[in-house]
Each structure stands twice: as C-alpha cells, then as structure tokens.
C-alpha cells in the first residue's frame, strides 16, 4: 500500500483553553518567507513525508500539505504549555512549572518520527523551563536529515507584541493571523534569542541556516 495522505491531531493532556476566550482577528497579512522557501526546497521531490506542525491547528496547513501527498500531525504546544494546571510550587516556595508532567502528557508521538517540523516562533513564547526539553524532544523525533523551520524575534517588541498564527499560502508565502485573548495577544513574548543562543539551542542538530527578514524576525532552517 502506497503512502496515504491523512491528518491526525495529537492532543496534549492539559485542559484546552475555552474557545470563546481566544479570538483570531479574521484578517490575514501576507508575508514572504525565505525560510519557508528553503523548507519546501528540502522537501521537493519527496512524497509521503511525515510533517509535524507545532502551532495552532490550521485547516489551510492541513489542506496544503496533505494535497501534496504528505501526512500532517499537529500539536498546539503553546496552549498546553500555558495550562494553569501545570503551575506548581517549587522546593524554594516559588511558583514554577511542572516540566515532568508536561513532557509526560504532551508531545507523545507513539513511536512516530518526522521528516519535517514547522516550529514557527514557539520557542519565543514557551515558558523558560520548557524551552530546552521541547527542543530536545523535537530532535529525538526527527529523522536524520529532517528539516525544521523556526522563527525568532530579533528585538524585544514588548509583551504586547502581536501573536500570530501561521497559515501556508505558497512555497514561500505565509498568511499571518493575529490571535488575541482578553484584549491582548493570546501569548506574550517571553524572550529574544540571539544567534549564539539559537546555535546552542540546536547544538544537537547537524546544521543551521539563517535568514533575516525585514520585520525583525530571524528565520532559521535546521537540519537534523
């Protein structure tokens, strides 16, 4: 039996955010992406690949990738990461995040491995304690030679910087959709990585390639 295109959503164990509190703006902004162009160039000529999308579920992304013969898996990592049920009190009496529980309940791929990962700008918005474990998990589930696309802010735009969902609109074109919660961005920018930080973050990978975009975003192609 040949490769079959299908979509399967991998649900995390944390409680889902009430849908009425999260509002996409509706309007989508077109944005050209050199990193995305390189991402698809690495996939060119191959069929039946397994692609992991770590952003919010996008019907556009599902249609785009499955129509090209690939299997798409999605897991909304940020929604799970900011689940209030993960907040615990540490040994020092200060609030912290239950990393062990998060990793036990999320990113459980049941032995699957992936040819490509759309990480988007997830790392910029993750709680600090989860950045390293999540990247290590991505490394462990990617096939050798697999490709990962990640975005990083190049300057601190402040906690009220827009948070965007990313929708595929072509081999080098994205549509950005601002998503809000309670009048502000759904997720708040936690940090700004410089080049050295990014290189250290992906030090277990074979290679990195940087693209600097005009909107103060650094696009990175990482090869496993």
**How does pLDDT run across 105-138, given as a tens digit for each residue?**
999 998 899 999 999 999 999 999 999 999 999 9
The residue written with tokens 């791929």 in the block is 109
pLDDT at 3 over 50: no
Joined tokens for residue 83 = 């689940």
Tens digit of each residue's pLDDT (9 = 90 or more) over 12-59: 333 333 344 455 556 899 999 999 999 999 999 898 999 999 999 999
Tens digit of each residue's pLDDT (9 = 90 or more) over 136-155: 999 999 999 999 999 999 87
In three-state form (DSSP H/G/I as H, E/B as E, the rest C), the secondary structure along 39-102 is: HHHHHCCCCCCEEEECCCCCHHHHHHHHCCCCEEEECCHHHHHCCHHHEEECCCCCEEECHHHH
Query: Who has greater pLDDT, 60 or 182?
Result: 60
Q: Which of 157, 94, 162, 83 is nearest to 126 (CA)?
A: 83
Q: What pLDDT was estimated at residue 12?
A: 33
User: pTM of this prediction?
Assistant: 0.87
> Which residues lie closer than 8 Å to 62 by C-beta, 6 or more apart?
7, 72, 74
- Average pLDDT of the segment spanning 190-198: 93
In angstroms, the CA 164 to CA 156 distance is 16
CA dihedral 116, 57, 152, 168 (to 10 degrees): 70
Q: What pLDDT was estimated at residue 26?
A: 64
Q: What pLDDT was estimated at residue 213?
A: 85
Tens digit of each residue's pLDDT (9 = 90 or more) over 206-223: 999 999 888 889 999 999
C-beta separation of 61 from 116 below 8 A: no
In angstroms, the CA 50 to CA 48 distance is 7
pLDDT at 98 over 90: yes
Q: What phi and psi, each to the nearest 5 degrees, are found at residue 191? A: -165, 170
- Average pLDDT of the segment spanning 93-107: 93
| Homologous superfamily of 7-223 | Vaccinia Virus protein VP39 (3.40.50.150)
Q: What is the mean pLDDT of the chain?
A: 87
216 CB-side CA count, 13 A: 10
> Which residues lie closer than 8 Å to 69 by C-beta, 6 or more apart?
3, 5, 47, 48, 49
Total length of the chain: 224
Q: What pLDDT was estimated at residue 25?
A: 58
């Amino acid at each position: 039996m040949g490769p079959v295109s299908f979509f399967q959503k991998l649900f995390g164990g944390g409680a889902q955010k009430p849908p009425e509190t999260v509002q996409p703006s509706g309007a989508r902004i077109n944005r050209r992406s050199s990193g995305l162009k390189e991402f698809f160039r690495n996939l060119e000529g191959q069929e039946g690949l397994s692609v992991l999308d770590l952003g919010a579920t996008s019907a556009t992304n599902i249609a785009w990738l499955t129509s090209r013969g690939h299997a798409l898996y999605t897991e909304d990592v940020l929604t799970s990461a900011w689940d209030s049920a993960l907040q615990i009190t540490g040994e020092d009496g200060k609030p912290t995040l239950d990393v062990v529980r998060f990793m036990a309940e999320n990113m459980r791929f049941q032995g699957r491995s992936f040819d490509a990962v759309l990480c988007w700008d997830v790392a910029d918005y993750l709680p600090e304690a989860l950045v390293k474990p999540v990247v290590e998990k991505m490394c462990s589930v990617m096939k050798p030679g697999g490709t990962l696309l990640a975005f990083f802010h190049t300057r601190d735009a402040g906690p009220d910087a827009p948070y965007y969902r990313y929708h595929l609109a072509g081999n080098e074109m994205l549509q950005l959709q601002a998503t809000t919660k309670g009048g502000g961005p759904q997720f708040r920018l936690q940090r700004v990585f410089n080049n050295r930080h990014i290189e250290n973050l992906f030090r277990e990978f074979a290679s990195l390639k940087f693209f600097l975009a005009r909107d103060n975003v650094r696009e990175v192609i990482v090869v496993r």
